[in-house]
Structure 1
Amino acid sequence: MKTLKTMMYVAAMLISAGAIAQKSPVSPADFHGAIADQKSYKVVYQLNSDDEKVIKATMRNIMNALDDPRLNGKLEVELVAHGGGVTVFKKDQPYETQLKALQQRGVILAECENTMRERKISKDELFDFISYVPSGNGEIIIRQQQGWAIVHP
């Protein structure tokens, strides 16, 4: 009985492989990316680096997603900073203008309170227009289980 099931499984896999192999490839000229056929999309961008290049790339990635015409009016975005990522929200850093531009486009800006406690950072050191979550990792876990995409540039 076990051998018969194995043989049936192998046969099914071969048939499937044959069907896939028979499909004609999509030419680059015919491919225009995925179709945004859902009513809405949700994404969390995780920032846990104080590297200026990573911070700038993360904010640029968010702006690019917001500017994608397929996602226009359908995208909910949250930027979660923890660990070294807290740098993006510090008043003594040069990111205020970009952060406010993201926030004006509806991006939720969230800082991890665990990071603040561990690094002895007070809310006075951070921009007054950001939000807080108890745990950056917890926020990401919860959002992922709620169906949000997770991007970690």
Structure 2
Amino acid sequence: MRFLIILLAWGLWLNADTEFADPKPALDNPRQVVFSVTEGSDEAINHVLSSANNVLKFYGPEKVQMEIVAYSGGIRTLLKNDPKIAERVRTLMLYDVTFVACGNTMRTKNITEDQLIDDVEVVTAGIVEMIERVKDGWVYIKP
């Protein structure tokens, strides 16, 4: 009997809907989310890209304004030379996700803009980009 109660409670928890904070996400009030990717391992990069994809799927791309900022080792996310990661980045770009590269990291690692995936924005400092997004009310997520 106890097992049945636990199983029922677990099933109800899995089916629980997320309660939206006010104001609810809408076309004229999208959730503004900024992710950072700072590590260059496949696992770290794919975790950020998958998390971003999950947010887009949940809310719908029309109700999310999203930016992914890559700096330090995470700059690898935005390089053309890894076809699998580059394809994932381009796919997210189709849903209006903005990708931003840190110019300071690029200088330190001798990376030029032509090595970046097309349409990646470059800013002076990735960490400052993060600060400004958060200061402007964006939700910061570090998966």
Instruction: Kindly indicate whether residue 133 of structure 2 is the aligned counterpart of residue 143 of structure 1.
Output: yes
Q: 1:134 aligns with which of 112, 124, 140?
A: 124
Choose which of 36, 48, 62 in structure 2 pairs with 1:58: 48
TM-score, with normalisation over the residues of structure 1? 0.76
Matched, 1:34 2:42: no
| Match runs of 1:1-150 below 5 Å | 28=13, 31-35=16-20, 37-38=24-25, 39-68=29-58, 71-72=59-60, 73-94=62-83, 95-150=85-140
Offset at residue 28 of structure 1 (A): 3.1
Q: Distance in 1 between matches of 2:128 and 2:19?
A: 30
The CA deviation string for residues 9-58 of structure 1, in whole angstroms up to 9 with x for no partner, is: xxxxxxxxxxxxxxxxxx73783222252432101010010010010111
Residue 9 of structure 2 corresponds to: none
Q: What displacement does 1:66 show?
A: 0.4
- In the alignment, the residues of structure 1 paired with residue 87 and residue 16 of structure 2 have an alpha-carbon distance, to the nearest angstrom, of 36
In structure 1, stretches of 5+ residues that fail to align are 1-26
Aligned length: 125
Q: What is the Cα-based RMSD across aligned positions, in Å?
A: 1.6
TM-score for the superposition, normalised by structure 2? 0.81
SS at match of 1:58: helix
Q: 1:93 to 1:31 in 2, by over 3 A?
A: same
| Counterpart amino acid of residue 126 in structure 1 | L
